[in-house]
A = this chain, B = another copy of it.
């Protein structure tokens, strides 16, 4: 019997670039691999919180995406990664920021949620926790790709922001969200973006789960993922309507590139973005798969 499950992912949003056009099939392949893996887990009865973690891990391991391997470099040429995960049923979350050397920051975020009394642990303290829990570490060279080196040294304004994320509804109707990023090319060291901030780049409750991507500073000050949840809870908006209201509101436009993926507790999937591309994929409750990069 077919299960009532749904999953969506993103791999960043923003403007188009020659690099993205050249590698569009690599991106689609990576998205397809991740969404199929996550959906398979759901169909076997896995919980949403486990599925979003496992799916984001695949995107972190793929060097084409700006998260884990392939992370953006800050202005000192270093990788500092952020991630967050949230269980909508339990209203529990875990987050990490300024993480170095941890192969899968999303696993460390889950570790914060599962093994500590805290929600968010940053920097050296996060690395200490990873060592205590025996998470896989990698040397700096593992994370750095030639493409990210190129972006840092480009003379034009870097366009290297990007993120990965996953939202899922499991067969019990429970929701979860996960977001992970290598941050913003050329940022000041220590910059914390929206991805690891509960309510900004990642949020889940009993009604919906959302993951954001784009210009992180705007996502933080607009508290976008939580705003979508509030529009659904307080205004009875449907999930696509709530996402469009926040992201594509032409009367009060967000002054920068932003995208969001969401799923509600009926398994309805929403994508919304205000820019040229959002790397994205989904498999809905009917089993229909979508894998896209550009506007369609």
Please report A residues at the B interface, Cβ cutoff 8 Å: 86, 91-93, 95, 97-98, 116-126, 128-129, 187-193, 197-200, 203, 216-217, 220-223, 226-227, 230-231, 234-235
Contact residues of A: prevailing secondary structure: mixed
A130: min CB distance to chain B, Å: 11
Would A192 and B97 count as touching, CB distance under 8 A?
yes
Would A220 and B119 count as touching, CB distance under 8 A?
yes
Expressed in whole angstroms, the Cα–Cα distance for A146 and B119 within the complex equals 28
Checking B117, B123, B226 against A98 with a beta-carbon cut-off of 8 angstroms, the contacting residue is: B123
Expressed in whole angstroms, the Cα–Cα distance for A234 and B221 within the complex equals 18
Would A191 and B118 count as touching, CB distance under 8 A?
yes
Would A191 and B120 count as touching, CB distance under 8 A?
yes
Given A198-B197, A220-B93, answer yes or no on A120-B234 (Cβ-Cβ < 8 Å): no
For A128, list chain B residues within 8 Å (CB): 188-190
Centre residue among A86, A93, A216, A223 by max chain B CB count within 10 A: A223
Q: Which partner residue on chain B sits nearest A219 by CB separation?
A: B119
Expressed in whole angstroms, the Cα–Cα distance for A128 and B189 within the complex equals 9
Expressed in whole angstroms, the Cα–Cα distance for A123 and B121 within the complex equals 11
Checking B119, B123, B189, B234 against A231 with a beta-carbon cut-off of 8 angstroms, the contacting residue is: B234
Expressed in whole angstroms, the Cα–Cα distance for A17 and B191 within the complex equals 38
Expressed in whole angstroms, the Cα–Cα distance for A8 and B86 within the complex equals 33
A214: min CB distance to chain B, Å: 14
Would A221 and B92 count as touching, CB distance under 8 A?
yes
Checking B124, B126, B199 against A199 with a beta-carbon cut-off of 8 angstroms, the contacting residue is: B199
Expressed in whole angstroms, the Cα–Cα distance for A120 and B95 within the complex equals 15
A161: min CB distance to chain B, Å: 12
